[in-house]
Amino acid sequence: MISLSDLRQFKQQGRKFSCLTCYDASMAKAMELAEIDSILVGDSLGMAIQGRDSTLPVTVADMAYHTAAVRRGNQHAFLLTDLPFMSYATLNDALVNARTMMQAGAQMVKMEGTAWLAETVQVLTRNGIPVCIHLGLMPQSVHVFGGYKLQARTRAAADQLIADCQAVVDAGAALLLLECVPAQLGREIAELFPGVPVIGIGAGVDTDGQVLVVQDMLGLTFGRVARFVRNFMKEQSGETAITDAFRAFHTAVQDQSFPAKEHTFQVEL
C-alpha cells in the first residue's frame, strides 16, 4: 500500500503520481489493477453520485460509507477523504469527524480553506491525522466565489495564496491540492515546498500529482466540460476499457503528456 512517505519520495525523485476520485469498491479495484497511486474519496460524490447541484449537502456519514467501500476494493493506492461542508467548523468537529474518516479506512483527510485552518491542521496532526489542504477554487465555498472560476489571476492574489500555503504547511499540512489556478502558480508552489507533495487539478503540469474526477475522465460528464478535463475513455474498447482508461491516465501523468497546454490556464503573473 502506498504511504505518505512514498508520495514524498516520488516528489524527491521527480516522479509524477496519479490520483483519481473514487466512491465504490468496483471502481476502486479497477484502479488497483491500473496501479493508480492515490485515490480521493471526494465530496464531489454529491454531484457525481447523488445528483446534487453542489457538494454542500454531502454528510459525514456519506463520506465514511464511501471511504469504507473504496478501501475494501483497493489495497494499493494512498487513500485520502474529504471532510464535507461545515464538518470542521470547530476544532472538536474536526477531531470527531476526522476520526470517523480514519476509522473508515482513510490515510489522510482533506479540508478546503486558507490560513485560518492552521490551528485545525496543527491539532489534527498532533493527534495522528495527516492533513491535505485544498486551495484555489474551493467547491464548498462556491457561493462565496460566485461560481466555478479561475482563481489567483493577479500577482497579488497569487502571493496571497502562497502565503496561505505557507501558513498551513507551517502548521503541519502534509499535502496541498490546488484547483483551477494559473499553471505558473502551480509550478511556483510545487517548487516552494520541497517536502510537501502538491496535487493539481487545472493547475498545470508542474505539480507533483494530478487528480481528476473519475466520471469526467471516463467521459461521463453531461453538460459543460471543464477546461482541465481529458476524456481517457475515447481510445479504449473491449472488456477492460475502464481499467485501460485508468492505466492511460496514470501513464499520461507520469510522462507529463497530461495535462497538456490546452488543459491549463496560462496567465502571466
pLDDT of residue 141: 67
pLDDT of residue 263: 96
pLDDT of residue 259: 97
> What is the residue-averaged pLDDT of the chain?
96
Question: CATH number, domain at 156?
Answer: 3.20.20.60
pLDDT tens sequence across 231-257: 999 999 999 999 999 999 999 999 999
Instruction: Name the catalytic one among 32, 35, 119, 179.
Output: 179
pLDDT of residue 268: 87
Q: Is residue 187 part of a domain?
A: yes
- How many structural domains is the chain composed of? 1
pLDDT of residue 143: 52
Q: Is 179 a catalytic residue?
A: yes
CB 248 within 8 Å of CB 237: no
Confidence of residue 153 (pLDDT cuts 50, 70, 90): very high
pLDDT tens sequence across 98-145: 999 999 999 999 999 999 999 999 999 999 999 999 999 998 866 555
Q: Is residue 268 part of a domain?
A: no
Q: Is residue 152 part of a domain?
A: yes
The DSSP annotation for 36-81 comes to -SEEEE-TTHHHHTT--SSSTT--HHHHHHHHHHHHHH-SSSEEEE
pTM for the predicted model, two decimal places: 0.96
**Whole-number CA gyration radius for the chain:** 17
